[in-house]
């Protein structure tokens, strides 16, 4: 028996069990060609973790109030040769930024899919595409993410690539330290209770309104009367509830998001300003430019000139 290797495999089992206990079902233990009891245990744990990750969805079943939910983001920045420039998280010491390819980090099963996506980008007008990816963490575990691949057109990073993956983690308070628990309890004690939105249904209604706004940035919003009717909530409660939950008015939030997305397209594409203004629901470029300058202190054309010089 290879004692050091078995110790490493047992450490991986312990690590994944702790992650599962804290509500994280996205890690798997790499399989080996050993035919022993440890490998049987690894196989069982991987299957259990897989079943739990598919069976439990916090957005469907909800979360108990004492469970803390957070979203962990994984970011990979690649150069034109698909080499890793940097990541937002620790990676195995064998992966060297600037020298190692993204293909050295992800699993064999996902290589062909990702290669096809890279090849399709130069001949495609798409700015991004979703895909699934598994990679090896610095602890030797297999981490599966649902990612989005972006083809960057910003002058300083032209033809570079950005991969962003997100993972929802449920934090079990039984798995955190006393010090961490005190911090969370103090934070909870300082939270101001909502005064306008008193029920779960009220909060969900306002969240649906925000979701609608985020999906219709290119259009003029309906009147407050029409929005209230569509959301089955009276006008006053709708306005005050949105301000209470998001610290902004409905129409100001809509305008800020339109300008924010317009700014991203200005910086990352060569699309002309008139088209961008129209795309985000501004019928007159002059109005768009005035609002843009008032918000960011620089006009769209001035921003474009700065980007061209970069």
pLDDT at residue number 180: 47
pLDDT at residue number 123: 65
For 68-171, CATH number out of 3.10.580.10, 1.10.150.20, 1.10.3210.10, 3.30.450.20 equals 3.30.450.20
pLDDT at residue number 225: 95
Query: Is there a common fold for 3-56 and 68-171?
Result: no
Is the four-CA dihedral 259, 262, 268, 270 of positive or negative sign? negative
Q: What share of the chain is helix, strand, coil (3-state, %, to 5)?
A: 55, 15, 30
The residues spanned by each domain of the chain are: 3-56, 68-171, 192-247, 253-309
pLDDT at residue number 234: 94
pLDDT at residue number 272: 87
Classify domain 3-56 at the CATH topology level. Answer: Helicase, Ruva Protein; domain 3 (1.10.8)
Task: Find how far residue 253's CA is from the centre of its chain.
Answer: 20
pLDDT at residue number 93: 65
Q: Which of 161, 143, 142, 166 is nearest to 151 (CA)?
A: 161
pLDDT at residue number 288: 92
Over its length of 310 residues, how does the chain's per-residue pLDDT go in tens digits? 567 888 888 888 888 787 776 666 767 787 777 778 888 788 777 777 766 665 554 443 444 444 555 566 778 888 888 888 877 767 666 667 677 788 877 766 667 777 777 777 666 666 667 777 777 776 777 777 777 778 777 676 777 888 877 766 555 544 444 544 554 455 454 445 678 888 889 888 998 999 899 888 888 899 999 999 999 999 999 999 998 888 889 999 999 888 888 887 887 777 889 988 888 888 889 999 998 888 877 888 888 877 665 5
Query: Rounded to an integer, what distance in angstroms lies between the CA atom of residue 283 and that of residue 302?
Result: 20
**Is domain 253-309 in CATH 1.10.8.60, yes or no?**
no
């Amino acid at each position: 028996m290879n004692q050091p290797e078995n110790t490493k495999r047992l450490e991986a089992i312990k690590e994944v069990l702790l992650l599962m206990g804290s509500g994280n079902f996205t890690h798997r233990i790499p399989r080996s060609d050993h035919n022993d009891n440890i490998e049987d245990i690894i196989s069982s744990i991987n299957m259990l973790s897989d079943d739990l990750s598919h069976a439990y969805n916090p957005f469907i079943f909800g979360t108990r109030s004492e469970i803390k939910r957070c979203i962990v983001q994984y970011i990979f920045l690649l150069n034109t040769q698909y080499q890793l420039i940097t990541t937002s998280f620790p990676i195995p010491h064998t992966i060297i930024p600037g020298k190692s390819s993204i293909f050295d980090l992800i699993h064999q099963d996902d290589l062909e899919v990702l290669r096809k996506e890279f090849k399709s980008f130069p001949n495609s007008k798409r700015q991004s595409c979703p895909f699934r990816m598994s990679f090896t963490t610095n602890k030797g575990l297999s981490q599966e993410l649902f990612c989005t691949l972006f083809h960057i057109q910003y002058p300083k990073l032209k033809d570079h690539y950005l991969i962003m993956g997100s993972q929802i983690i449920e934090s079990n308070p039984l798995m955190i330290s006393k010090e961490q628990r005190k911090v969370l309890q103090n934070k909870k004690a300082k939270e101001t209770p909502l005064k306008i939105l008193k029920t779960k249904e009220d909060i969900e209604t306002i969240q649906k309104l925000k979701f609608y706004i985020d999906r219709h940035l290119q259009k003029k919003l309906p009147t407050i009367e029409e929005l209230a009717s569509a959301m089955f909530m009276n006008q006053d409660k709708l306005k005050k509830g949105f301000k209470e939950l998001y610290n902004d008015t409905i129409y100001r939030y809509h305008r800020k998001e339109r300008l924010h997305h317009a700014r991203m397209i200005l910086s990352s594409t060569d699309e002309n300003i008139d088209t961008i203004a129209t795309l985000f629901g501004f019928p007159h470029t002059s109005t768009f430019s005035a609002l843009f300058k008032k918000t960011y202190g620089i006009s769209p054309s001035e921003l474009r000139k700065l980007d061209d010089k970069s």
